[in-house]
Structure 1
Amino acid sequence: MLVLSALVFLAVTLGLTGAYLWWAPTRAQQRLQALAPTPEKSAWAETVVKLVGPFAQLSSPTGEEDASPMRLKFLHAGIRHPDATLIYFGIKTLLPFLFAFLTFLLLRMINPAEGLTLVFWLMTSALVACYLPNAILHVLAKNRKRDIFENFPDAADLMLVCVEAGLGLDAALTKVTEEIRMKSEALAQELHWTNLEMRAGSAREKALRNLATRTGVEEIATFATMLTQADRFGTSIGESLRVFSDDLRHKRQVRAEELAAKVPTKMLFPLVVCVFPSIIMVVMGPAAIQVIRSLMPMLSGNA
């Protein structure tokens, strides 16, 4: 009886130990989980997925070749949620019906419309709602690209300083990621993903090419090509970074001058519509009043 109890105890202990070892992550997995930021699914995201998920099949693309460009747009906008595509197409399916319903209620309350007029407004609101997610995604991607482009020259200068100080390229990228985070979270996040790819064993050329693909910024693609060629042909990375940094600062200056040159044209419409009428009223108003006061008695006397 004692031997049977000991065997049962030993079997249960070994079973629990094996289950723990099979379920618990290894030390290497723990380190990778600590390094890589794991995407957290919030409660609202899960709720939205459950609500709009069934409707996403009505407007989502059927092939992978159609889904890949959309996934690339999400990466350009900084959206990495695994259910982003599902939420996007679900909202794109439901939003036209919601806008059409709200337009119908608004027309009934303000100015009851019937016939073709009602159909026209309903179709117009549904069309606007259909393209509204595209416009929002485009604006998010454009703002993120501009943020990365404007802060990347500073990151290139920091990388040049680190390389000339004796650090390797991988260590320089890590240091630049830590420092640039105070100014641009988007650029720091992309550089952090590049560092994780290289730590995981990916080739530097592939990691830099993925960085250019995720950001969608032309200058970063040039940066990746420059570092790849410098590494392949054995040229000085510091000298290449110096030339690239000077060219990047020149491009940023040219872009700032271009935007400054567009300011007078952009100010023309508000000046003509808002400022000039007020100036004309202030300047010509007293004179017009005097003319009217002088002419009115004369006109009334003649009458």
Structure 2
Amino acid sequence: MMYISFFATVTLFLYSFYVFRSERKNVLKRRLSSFVNNNEQKDWSQDDQSKLPLHKRVFKPMWREFRRGFKRKIPGEKQAKLEVLLLQAGNPMGMTPFEYRLIQLGIIVLFPVMAGGWGTLMDFNPAGVLLMGLVGGVVAFIMPPFYIKSKIKARSKTALLELPDILDLLTVSLEAGLGFDGALSKVVSKKEGVLSMEFHRCLEEIRLGRTRRESLRGVRNRLVVDEISGLISSILQAEKLGIGMVNVLRIQSEEVRDQRKQRAEQEAMKAPIKMLFPLVLFIFPSLFIVLLGPAVLQFIETFNK
């Protein structure tokens, strides 16, 4: 019975998280469709509110108040840093800083309880149950920041791999006579990926009124890659000094390809060292058994005689 209740609790928690995410997406779709279709905003009177379901009349206002109170408790600096980290990670699962903090607190509460419950189900002694709870607490503290850092690292690596092709296409577009914004638009329409999405966001910000300098700095802040930071700095410097953008991008393209070649050579030089550990642990013992095993057996038979 304890096993059934334990797994039912975990299943219901995961299902509630899934329902919350799907309901949030449905609300967003309904709001967008209302703007697209030019629907008039409804005047919610008391009669209209009485027709709403119970969770929208009671639980939704409570959730809204809880969200406001929780946001007030998060310092502004921490919220800004967390928002930057989520942007660098590509907003995984569409999380906002509030949702990330809420999930983090839920994991911190849930993991020690789950680990302690598992220790109890396995008939551990009290010290073992306490140790399992401590291990669950440590994992709960480490896992959310580790997940965000891994997403940032993977996203930065993907952007770095896409950079040479994006630079070549951007240079060709500028040489064909397009302006910088037009060349970026051409790159966004022809390529897909992390870097293309960031440039698309940059163009949208420019259309909304931000300056090109601020939009490009936003791309540099959202992608933690030295090569991309150097490229954007060169573009901003060329724009400030009036240098030809084509020459700057051509030089940057050559440098990026040279750096990619150097990274490939470094990885090739690391390969023998990485192969040494499985070679010593797995291959050498097998070779010694095959080659020296018969000789050892003959020595043993000879000394026994």
Call closer, same or farther: CA 1:207–1:24 in 2, change over 3 Å.
closer
Give me the TM-score of the superposition, normalised by structure 1.
Answer: 0.73
2:208 aligns with 200
| 1:191 matches 2:199 | yes
| Aligned mates of 2:301, 2:183 — CA distance in 1 | 79
Q: Where in structure 2 are the equivalents of 1:103-252 lying within 5 Å?
A: 103-110=115-122, 112-115=124-127, 117-181=128-192, 185-252=193-260
1:37 aligns with none
How big is the shift at 1:264? 2.1
2:80 aligns with 68
1:87 aligns with 99
Report the AA paired with residue 155 of structure 2: R
Report the AA paired with residue 191 of structure 2: I
| 226-235 or 170-179: bigger deviation | 226-235
Task: Tell me the secondary structure at the aligned position of residue 112 of structure 1.
Answer: coil
2:53 aligns with none
| 1:258 matches 2:269 | no
Structure 1 or 2, whichever has the larger Rg, is: 1
1:38 aligns with none
1:162-189 Cα shifts (integer Å, max 9, x gaps): 11111111111011112221xxx21111
Task: Tell me the secondary structure at the aligned position of residue 291 of structure 2.
Answer: helix
1:18-73 Cα shifts (integer Å, max 9, x gaps): xxxxx96799xxxxxxxxxxxxxxxxxxxxxx99x969988997211111111111
Report the AA paired with residue 147 of structure 2: I
2:89 aligns with 77
Tell me if structure 1 keeps the 8 A contact 2:107–2:140: yes
1:107-134 Cα shifts (integer Å, max 9, x gaps): 334462223x432332122111211011
2:297 aligns with 289
Tell me if structure 1 keeps the 8 A contact 2:115–2:136: yes
Tell me if structure 2 keeps the 8 A contact 1:153–1:248: yes
1:213-237 Cα shifts (integer Å, max 9, x gaps): 1222222222222112212221111
Tell me if structure 1 keeps the 8 A contact 2:71–2:98: no
How big is the shift at 1:241? 0.8
Tell me if structure 2 keeps the 8 A contact 1:56–1:90: no
Q: Number of matched residues?
A: 248
Task: Tell me the secondary structure at the aligned position of residue 235 of structure 1.
Answer: coil
* Structure 2 gap ranges (5+): 1-33, 39-61
| Aligned mates of 1:165, 1:133 — CA distance in 2 | 46
1:19 aligns with none
| Aligned mates of 1:258, 1:154 — CA distance in 2 | 21
How big is the shift at 1:146? 0.6
Aligned-residue RMSD, C-alpha: 2.9
- % same residue: 29
Call closer, same or farther: CA 1:138–1:56 in 2, change over 3 Å.
farther
Give me the TM-score of the superposition, normalised by structure 2.
Answer: 0.72
Call closer, same or farther: CA 1:153–1:220 in 2, change over 3 Å.
same
| Aligned mates of 2:126, 2:249 — CA distance in 1 | 66
| 284-293 or 195-204: bigger deviation | 284-293
1:188-209 Cα shifts (integer Å, max 9, x gaps): 1111101111222321111111
